[in-house]
Amino acid sequence: MRDTYHEGLDALSERLVEMTRLARHAIARATTALLDADLNAAQEVISGDDELNKLNDEIERSAFELMARQQPVAKDLRTIITSLHMAGDLERMGDHAVHIAKIARRRNPESAIPAELRSIVLEMGHQAELLVIKAGEVVNARDAETARELDADDDRMDKLRRKLLKRILDPNWKHGVEATMDVTLAGRFYERFGDHAVHVADNLVYMVTGEKVSDRELEA
């Protein structure tokens, strides 16, 4: 019975790591859709979100079943509760990738990103991938020390978003209201994607050490 119990706990982590892989693929394809006006990539992200939602549901069911049948305490209980929180964050990361893909789909066959902002948005996409890759690595290894680094890693994303907004607010901006809204929203979705990756890492630290890293509240 205890072997089955610990297999169940391990399965939670395995599903979480798989969710990070799916979230990475989603944000990478969403960036392609946004910059290249790639309708197929946009549709792939939108339809693929079902798989992330399915894994989130599986983690939720497994977590409640483990709590009901095994009545875990101490670290095991922390593992289950934080797994639920991490799954929720990863599911929302998929949602943000979908939002970006929908911007691309709405503006197709044109690109939603003006040429002079492409390099910034491309870098935001790369930074988003790096953050979710690192989140997956720390979850897989239960590496609290490396998990603490993600907050600083996310600073780069925040700087990129500020740089994007500065360009939009420049008096020489000439791309109109629609482009302004699209670029502003895309930047916001990338930023939130990164914030949720940091929240995954914060929860991993709590899972391993029992230490609360921060009390940040994240929007859906």
CATH classification at residue 25? 1.20.58.220
pTM of the predicted protein model: 0.94
What residues contact 189, with CB distance under 8 A and at least 6 apart?
A: 96, 97, 99, 100
Counted domains in the chain: 1
**pLDDT score, position 78:** 93
pLDDT at 220 exceeding the cut of 60: no
Q: Which of these, 53, 47, 45, lies nearest to 28 by C-alpha position?
A: 45
Query: Mean pLDDT for the chain?
Result: 94
Only one residue has tokens 């998929």, namely 94
pLDDT digits (tens, 9 = 90+) for 56-103: 999 999 999 999 988 888 889 999 999 999 999 999 999 999 999 999
Mean pLDDT of 12-32: 98
Can you tell me the mean pLDDT for 112-133? Answer: 97
Note whether residue 155 is domain-resident: yes
Whole-Å CA distances, 28 to 49, 128, 190, 207: 13, 8, 11, 28
Answer whether residue 216 is part of any domain.
Answer: no
Name the residue range of residue 110's domain: 2-209
